Structure 1
């Protein structure tokens, strides 16, 4: 299993790094479009569509993103879209998690499929918009999620007592959530300290948020961490409702694409919303 994980990670890095480091944004947009289409296929499978119908949902996500690209939204997305997505994740995600796994299958299948189609399409637009703001921006946006996840894992193992959502993800605890927020704030402080004297990759999310003051930066990072937890739990809930361990086996040793990007789905639009102010 470990060897599989390492090999898969190396292959992904070999594909993603050249596109991520390219001066132009479109190679990364094209590559991420393939991945978001695969995530659409996985979402269809998790919500009752199999075979050609699941593939059709993935293609629908790709077609929507391609149409937005052609319309110019990949270059200049209306800021209102980021805020609609942000509010939708905060309210809709909270209601879904409160209802729990038993309520998820009771939601009309068409509604669940539509939600997946929309959230994946908007996340791709946000990912593309973040890439256009520079390497430092997109890396710092993703590192918020990664730092929170790593800190939550170790903090939860060491301090975890109160379960966060035992019916959805028994391993997560409130102590892990708080640890994740502390970890992301520590990352923000360290990144800003380095960025003041050395920023070869361009301005970060932290620098742009800090322009409105440190309190705004702290509130924003904490809010982004909270949204990352919502994204993670929503995907976990959809898997638990159908008894699936992973969203697919596309990435040997890692599960599926959704398993790797679930926390990023709400965070990326929220990042773009916050810096649009």
Structure 2
């Protein structure tokens, strides 16, 4: 299992690193588009596992929505999609997570179906917007999510006692979440002090608004990275599956790798709009 996981990671890095650092940005947009469409395919398979062709239709519909909004070339529509996604994460996601496993996927199937066609395209547009600001700007924002996850894992393993969401994800602890949060504060400060202020969201935010708003922003982003992780875990448990798919051997599916990015990227993109 570990060997398969490492081999998959090496292949992904071998593809992604040249795209990031040596090829024009359009190639990254295409790579991210493929990832989002694959995630849409997985999303549909979870909410409608018995529908034979619906996952392919759903993935194609997600692609059409992205092409349509991109073709309009009107930032108003694109930011509107980001805003709707952020509204969901702030006001609807907490309600769904609070229900735990008391939801019926059969009754909520159409809701989740519409939801995926908002959240997944919004994540793609958010990533493209952050990339347009700068490659380091995008990567440093994504890194916050990974650092929060790494911190939560190791602190949770060492000190975790109180379960964060026992029904949804028994492995996550309150102590782990707090550990990940603290590590992200350190990371954000390092970005401010060691990188050009306009190179990262954290430096630009600290320069524009000050230290307390920076602290609040990092808190919000890390909290919603946890929300994204829990939200996908809840959806998988409702669907009765361990992984969203087996597209990435040893890692599960694309959604399993990007779940925490789904809320963070649209929020970060809107925050970047303020500066």
TM-score range, shorter chain: over 0.9
SS at 1:140's partner residue? Answer: helix
Please report the TM-score for the alignment, with normalisation by the length of structure 1.
0.93
Q: Determine the C-alpha separation between the residues in 2 that align with 1:71 and 1:18.
A: 30
Paired position in structure 2 for 1:242: 239
Query: Aligned equivalents of 2:109 and 2:80: distance in 1?
Result: 27
Q: Please give the alpha-carbon distance, in whole angstroms, between the structure 1 residues aligned to 2:70 and 2:99.
A: 36
Extract unaligned runs of 5+ from structure 2: none
Count of aligned pairs between the two proteins: 272
Q: Determine whether 1:4 maps to 2:4.
A: yes
Q: 1:217 to 1:107 in 2, by over 3 A?
A: farther
Flag the 1:59–1:80 CA change in 2: closer, same or farther, 3 A.
closer
Residue in structure 2 matched with residue 210 of structure 1 by the alignment:
206
> What does residue 256 of structure 2 align with?
259
- The structure whose residues are more often helix, as a share, is 2
CA drift at 1:103: 0.8
Q: Residues 10 and 118 (structure 1 numbering): CA distance in 2 closer, same or farther, change over 3 Å?
A: same
Q: Check 1:104–1:152 CA distance in 2 against 1; reply closer, same or farther (3 A cut).
A: farther
Q: Give the alignment's Cα RMSD to 1 decimal.
A: 1.7
8 Å CA contact retained: 2:162, 2:175? yes
Q: Secondary structure, in 3 states, of the residue corresponding to 2:172? A: strand
Which residue of 2 is the match for residue 51 of structure 1?
52
Cα separation, 1, equivalents of 2:235 and 2:84? 22
Q: Is the 8 A contact 2:85 2:118 kept in 1?
A: no
Deviation sequence 1:156-212 (CA, Å, 0-9, x none): 11221111110000011111111111111111112222114xx8xx71111121121
| Structure 2 CA distance for partners of 1:235 and 1:58, relative to 1, 3 Å | same
Shift of residue 112, structure 1, vs aligned partner: 1.0
Task: Tell me, in whole angstroms, the C-alpha distance in 1 between the residues paired with 2:118 and 2:84.
Answer: 11
1:83 aligned onto 2:83: yes
Question: 3-state SS of the aligned residue for 1:108?
Answer: helix
Please give the TM-score of this superposition, normalised by the length of structure 2. Answer: 0.93
Partner of 1:155: 155
- The aligned residue for residue 24 of structure 2 is 24
1:80 CA displacement:
4.5
Cα drift, residue 22 of structure 1: 4.5
8 Å CA contact 1:101, 1:238 repeated in 2: no
Quote the offset at 1:84 in angstroms: 3.0
**Corresponding position of 1:189:** 189
Q: CA deviation at 1:99?
A: 0.8
* Worse overlay, 42-51 or 246-255: 42-51
Mapped to 1, the partners of 2:112 and 2:159 lie a distance apart of: 35
**1:115-143: per-residue Cα shift (whole Å, max 9, x none)?**
11110011111011111111111111100
Cα offset for 1:82?
3.0
With over 3 angstroms needed to count, the CA separation of the structure-2 counterparts of 1:97 and 1:104, relative to structure 1, is farther
Q: How does 1:63-74 map to 2 (within 5 A)?
A: 63-73=64-74
1:269 equivalent in structure 2: 266
Q: Deviations over 1:228-256 (max 9, x none)?
A: 11110110001111221100000000000
The answer to whether structure 1 residue 219 and structure 2 residue 220 are counterparts is no
